[in-house]
Chain A
Amino acid sequence: MANVASTTASAGSELTARALREAVFAGLISLGLFILFVGLETTQNIRNELVLNQRWGLLATFVVIAMVGRFLMVAYVQPRLAQRKAAKAAAPDVVKEEGFFSRNFSAIAIVALILYPPVVLALTGVQGSLKWVDNFGIQILIYVMLAWGLNIVVGLAGLLDLGYVAFYAVGAYSYALLSSYFGLSFWVLLPVAGLLAACWGVVLGFPVLRLRGDYLAIVTLAFGEIIRLVLINWTEVTKGTFGVSGIAKATLFGIKFDATKTGFAALFGLPMSSAYYKIFLFYLILGLALLTAFVTIRLRRMPIGRAWEALREDEIACRSLGINTVTTKLTAFATGAMFGGFAGSFFAVRQGFVSPESFVFLESAVILAIVVLGGMGSLTGIAIAAAVMIGGTEILRELAFLKLVFGPNFTPELYRMLIFGLAMVVVMVWKPRGFVGSREPTAFLHKRKAVSGSFTKEGHG
C-alpha cells in the first residue's frame, strides 16, 4: 500500500516539475512574443512624431498570465481531461435517448423567436426594446441567413467560396440603386435582388468550374474583392466610398412606418416609435431566414440536393452516374447567391445606407467561419454558431461594468474582433467538425440514423 502511495506521490511531484518547466518555457515564449508589442507602444507626440511609450508592467502581467495558465493547464486540466477521456472510453456505449427538448429543438426555437419581440417589448418598454431587437435579434438573424445561404455552396456542394459577401453586396446595391433611381418598392425589388445575385452566382461560377480546392477559394476571394473594388471606383453609379444613403424603407401591405396619419403607429393608435419598424424588420428577416431553411431542407430531399452532397463526396463518381456536374455546381452557386442577395436587400432596407465598407473580405470570412463552426450542412448547428459568435461579440458592447475593472479608458468594443478571432481558433481546435458534426440522412428504409462526421467529406472545390 505504502509503495503505491509513494509512486503516485512521485508521479504527482514529477507532474508538478514538468508543469513548472512548461510554465517557464511558456513564460519565455510569451516574453518573446509580447516584448515589442506589449512592452512598448508607439504613439504620436505633439509634433506628430512617433515616440515610444514603455509598459513593462503590462508585459509582466502578460507573461505571468501565460506562465500561470500553462502551469494550471499541464498540472490540472490535462490530467483531468485524460481521465475523463479514459472513463468515457471504458464506459459502455449507451445510446442516449434524446430528450423532449433536443427532439423538438427547431420547433421550440422558432416559437421562441416569434415570441421574442413581444416579450422584449413587455420587459424593456418600447424604447428599451430597440437595442435587443435590432442589435441582437436582427443582427444575428442576418448572419444566420447568410450562413445558411453559404451552407448550400460550402456545406452541401463542398465548393469552398471565400467571396460570398459579393452576392450580399449585389443584393444590397440592387435594392439601394433600383429603389433610389426608379423608386421601386422593397417587395418588388426583393425577388429582383435575389435573381440578380443568382445571375452573378452563375456568371462568377462559370469560369471557376474547372478549379478545385484552394484555387477555387482564391478565385472566389478575388471575385469578391473585384466586386467591392468596382463598387468603390464606379462612383458615377454607386457614389463610391460615400455609399448610397436615404434608401426607402419597406412597407407592410402598403402601410408606411412613419409619423404620418396613414403610418403604422397612427393607424393602430400607438405612440410613434421606430421600435415598431424594427420589430417589423425582425419578423421580415426571421421569415427570410426560415424561407432559406425551408428551401434548403426541401432541396436536400430532392435530386438536386442529393447531387450537391454527392458532388461534395466524389465528383468523378457523380459523373459516372450521369449527373451533369456543371449544372449541378452552377445551381449550387446560384441558389446560395440568391439567398445572399435576399439578405443583402434586407440589409439595405434595414440600414437605409449601403457602402462598400460593409462588404469586405472579413465578412466573407465571418460567414464561412459560422458555417464551419456550426458544422457544415447542419442548419441547427449553424444557427447556434451564429448566435454564439455574433451575439457573443455584440454582448461585449453591453459590458459597461468592465470599465469599473479596467478603468474608464477601457472600451470593450475594441476587443470585439480580437475575441471573435480567438473564439474561432478555440472552437475549431476543440470541435474540428463544428458544433453539430453529424449529418441527417435525406431518406431511409428502416430507421433514420445520423451519419457521423468522420464519414462525410468536405469536398474538393
Chain B
Amino acid sequence: MEYFVQQLVNGLTLGSIYGMIAIGYTMVYGIIGMINFAHGDIFMLGGFAALIVFLILTTFMAGIPVVLALLLMMIVGMLTAALWNWTIERVAYRPLRGSFRLAPLITAIGMSIVLSNFIQVTQGPRNKPIPPLVSSVYDIFGIAVSLKQIIIVVITAFLLSVFWYIVNRTPLGRAQRATEQDRKMAALLGVDVDRTISVTFIMGAALAAVAGTMYLMYYGVVVFTDGFAPGVKAFTAAVLGGIGSLPGAVLGGLLIGLIESLWSAYFTIDYKDVATFSILAIVLIFKPSGILGRPEVEKV
C-alpha cells in the first residue's frame, strides 16, 4: 500500500510536468487548430535557459539563496522561451495561417528539428548534469516525499489557477475564447486576433519553460534531445484529455504520469512508453474526442 502511494506521488509529480507542457499544446490547438510540434523543444529550450542561468548564478553569485535562484531560473527561462515561441509563430506559422492545413504542421516539425539541432550545435550534444538544488526528503506517514516533488506540485497548482483565471475571467481570455470559436467574427468584433494568438504562444511557452525548469530540478540533467519524448507524451496527454480543453490537458498529463510510474513500478520499465501509447490508442478508439473533449459532430 505504501509502495502504491509512493508511486502515486511520483506519478503526480511527473504528471504535473506533462500537464504544464500539455497546456501549451492544447491552447495553441484550440486557438489555431494546429499541432505545434516545436512545443516540446520549447520545453527543452526552457530547461537549457534555466541551466545556463543556474551556471551564471553559481559562477558569479555563489551563495545565492536557493529559492531566489530557482525563481530567477524560472523567470529567465519563461522570458527566453516566450520570446522564441513568439518569434517562431511570427516567422513560421503566421504567414501560413489560413493556407493549406498541413503546411504549418510541416513548418512546426521543421522548427522542432531546428530548435533541437540549434541547441546541439551551440551547447554541445552531451548530457548536462547539475548538482542537486534541493535535496530534502520528508517522511509523511511512511511515504518519502521530496521537497522537489512538493515544489513541482505546488507550482503547477498555482500556475494552473492563474491560467484558469486568465482564460476565464479576463478580457484577454475572452478574446482567446472568441478567437477559438470563430476567428473571423472575433476580428470583426474588434478582437486583435494576431495579438491574441501571439499571447497564446507566449503563455504556452512560459508554462513549458516552467516545466523545463522543474524537469531540470527534478532529474538534475538536460540534453538537447529532451524535447521529443516529454513533448510527445505531453501531446499525448493533451489528446487524451481532449484537445482544446485546459482541464483536459492537466487531467491527461496526470493520467500519463500515473500510468508511467505505476506501470514502471508493477510491470516492466522497458514497456512503460508502450503502455502509455497503447492506452492513448485505446481511449481514442472508444472515445475519439478524448476524455473531456467536445465530440466533433459533422452535420450532414
On whether A and B touch (CB less than 8 Å), the answer reads yes
Residues in chain A within 8 A of chain B (CB atoms): 29, 32-33, 36-38, 40-44, 50-52, 154, 160, 207-208, 210-212, 214-215, 217-219, 221-223, 225-226, 229-230, 232-233, 316, 361-362, 365, 368-369, 372-373, 376, 414-415, 417-418, 420-425, 428-429, 432-433, 453, 458
Given A429-B96, A432-B96, A211:B284 Cβ within 8 A: yes
Stretch of B132-140, B141-149, B182-190, B266-274 with 4 or more beta carbons under 8 angstroms from chain A: B266-274
Residues A222 and B277 in contact, CB atoms below 8 Å apart: yes
Question: Min CB distance, B32 to chain A, in Å?
Answer: 12
* C-alpha spacing A130/B224, complex, angstroms: 34
The contact of A222 among B53, B281, B296, by CB within 8 Å, is B281
Contact of B114 with A by CB under 8 A = yes
**What are 10 A-B interface contacts by the 8 Å CB criterion?**
A37-B122, A52-B52, A211-B288, A212-B296, A214-B243, A223-B277, A417-B113, A421-B112, A424-B107, A433-B103
Given the complex, which residues of B lie within 8 Å of A428, measured CB to CB? Answer: 92, 96, 103-104, 106-107, 110
A207 touches B281 (CB 8 A): yes
- CB distance A425 to B122 under 8 Å? no
| A207 engages B121 (CB within 8 Å) | no
CA distance A259 to B273 in the complex (A): 46
- Residue of B whose beta carbon sits closest to that of A224: B277
On whether the beta carbons of B128 and A221 are closer than 8 Å, the reply is no
Do B55 and A42 touch (CB < 8 A)? yes
The answer to whether the Cβ of B175 comes within 8 Å of any Cβ in the partner chain is no
Q: Is B106 within 8 A of A225, CB to CB?
A: no
A42, B123: Cβ atoms closer than 8 Å: yes
Q: B285, A207: Cβ atoms under 8 Å?
A: yes
Q: Whose C-beta in chain A lies nearest to the C-beta of B35?
A: A214
Given A42-B128, A214-B243 in contact, is the A425-B92 Cβ separation under 8 Å?
Answer: yes
Distance to closest chain B CB from A16 (angstroms)? 23
7 other A-B residue contacts (CB within 8 Å) besides A211-B288, A215-B289: A37-B119, A40-B55, A50-B51, A51-B55, A207-B285, A229-B273, A229-B274
Chain B interface residues (CB < 8 Å from chain A): 29, 35, 37, 45, 48-49, 51-53, 55-56, 59, 76, 79-80, 83-84, 87, 91-92, 95-96, 99-107, 109-114, 117-124, 126, 128-130, 228, 232, 235-236, 239, 243, 268, 270-271, 273-274, 277-278, 280-281, 284-285, 288-290, 296, 298, 300
Q: How far is the CB of A430 from chain B (nearest CB, A)?
A: 9
Query: Which residues in B have their C-beta under 8 angstroms from that of A432?
Result: 96, 99-100, 103
Contact A373 B288 (CB under 8 A): no
| CB-based nearest B residue for A416 | B117
Which of B53, B76, B112, B281 has the most C-beta atoms of chain A within 10 angstroms of its own C-beta?
B281
Contact (Cβ within 8 A) B271 A219: no
Q: State in angstroms the CA–CA spacing of A7 and B102 once bound together.
A: 44
Cβ of A316 and Cβ of B298 under 8 Å apart? Answer: yes
B33 CB, nearest partner CB in chain A, Å: 8
A369 with B110, Cβ < 8 A, contacts A33-B87, A225-B277, A226-B274 known: yes
Chain A nearest CB: distance from B156 CB in Å?
23
A428 to B101, CA, bound (A): 11
Roughly how many angstroms separate A432 CA and B35 CA in the complex, as a whole number?
17
A458→B277 CA distance, assembly (Å): 26
Smallest CB separation, B267 vs chain A (Å): 12
Cβ–Cβ < 8 Å partners of B110 in chain A: 369, 420-425, 428
How far apart are the CA atoms of A229 and B194 in the complex, in Å? 41
On whether A418 and B117 interact (CB within 8 A), knowing A50-B129, A207-B281, A372-B103, the answer reads: yes
State whether A415 touches B107 (Cβ < 8 A): no
Q: Is the CB of B49 within 8 A of A36?
A: yes
| Interface hub of B49, B107, B121 (most chain A Cβ within 10 A) | B107
Q: In whole angstroms, what is the CA distance A433 to B99 when docked?
A: 9
Q: Tell me whether B281 and A219 are in contact (CB under 8 A).
A: yes
* Closest Cβ neighbor of B117 among chain A residues: A418
In the complex the two chains form, is B83's CB within 8 Å of A414's CB? no
Which B residues lie within 8 Å of A32 (CB)?
A: 79-80, 83
Alpha-carbon distance between A417 and B125 when the two chains are bound, in angstroms: 13
Q: Which residues of B contact A160 (CB under 8 A)?
A: 102, 105
Residue of B nearest to A222 (CB): B277
With beta carbons under 8 angstroms apart, the residue of B37, B52, B111 that contacts A40 is B52
> Please, which residue of chain B has its CB at the minimum distance from the CB of A155?
B102
Q: A41-B123, A219-B280, A226-B277 are in contact. Are A424 and B48 (CB under 8 A)?
A: no
Question: Chain B residues near A214 (CB, 8 Å)?
Answer: 29, 35, 239, 243
Give min CB distance, A17 to chain B, whole Å. Answer: 22
* Cα–Cα, bound, A369→B123 (Å): 27
